[in-house]
Amino acid sequence: MKALETKILKNKVPNHVAIIMDGNGRWAKLKNKPRVFGHKNGVNSVRETIEGCRELGIKYLTLYAFSTENWNRPKLEVKTLMSLLVSSLKKELKSLLENNIKLITIGNLNDLPKSARKELTEVIEKTKNNTALTLTLALSYGSRDEIVNVIKNISKKVVNNELQIEEINENIINNHLYTFSLPDVDFLIRTSGEKRISNFLLWQIAYAELYFTNTLWPDFKKENLFNAILEYQNRERRFGKTSEQIEKINE
């Protein structure tokens, strides 16, 4: 494990890692347990991943915790996920403070139960001056919903003459997304073997490197994260240029 970590070039870690944490239900099913048992164990993987990111010096970690579509799951599962959110926030606040981690959220927070909103507001406020890692929880988040909101808000400004149509550019759009304070995603990880995006950060992953692993989320540990980062460091990000051009820049 230590050996694995030393292989990682600390000056070349992705600035922003985003994760679609998938496979909790299947993990539980394999153990003949109810789905919520998988969610409970998934929390340990969240902790390990945050720790791993801190150790590597990754500055932004964004976790897909609950999608707009997940509201359609059985009532009891939704309820358990929400109470798990509240209890985890309560438990982890101390460690977030000790480790200089700032918590923010993206998504439609108004949809969340009051208890969750209250806990989130408190943790966000208490960690707002932290600087080592920005941990973003995507809660009741859907990328299409986000884009609809962007269009509404920009349109309002145009109608009110606060913004001219000619002024609309990629920057303006970025500034109206839930993720306005975050840089583009460099590395997107999805666990559980599914190879899809499921309405996550469609605009923000335009040039992200994608990584799919069969590991189910509750089994995803620091070692898995480190292996993923090692693969990232072996990729060549060309951003439309040629390999020769990129090699020149890196010389």
Give the residue numbers marked as catalytic. 22, 70
Q: Is 64 in the site for ligand IPE (CB under 6 A)?
A: yes
The alpha carbon of residue 58 and the mean position of all alpha carbons in its chain are separated, in whole angstroms, by 13
Piece in contact with ligand IPE (CB under 6 A), picked from 51-59, 63-71, 169-177, 205-213 = 63-71
- Binding flags for ligand IPE, 74-103, as an x/- string (CB under 6 A): -------x----------------------
73 is in an annotated binding site: yes
Strand residue runs (E) in 1-121: 16-20, 60-67, 101-106
CB of 138 to ligand IPE, least distance (A): 7
Name the residue number minimizing CB distance to Mg ion: 22
Look-up of token digits 């920057």: 171
Of positions 15, 44, 174, 198, contacts ligand IPE by CB under 6 A? 198
Q: Is 110 exposed, middle or buried (0-12, 13-18, 19+ CB in 10 A)?
A: exposed
In the chain, what is the straight-line distance between the N-terminal and C-terminal CA atoms, in Å? Answer: 31
What is the C-alpha separation between 64 and 19, in angstroms, rounded? 6
Of positions 41, 67, 136, 224, contacts ligand IPE by CB under 6 A? 67
CB of 28 to ligand IPE, least distance (A): 8
Residues that bind ligand IPE (CB under 6 A): 20-26, 64-67, 69-70, 81, 192, 194, 196, 198, 217
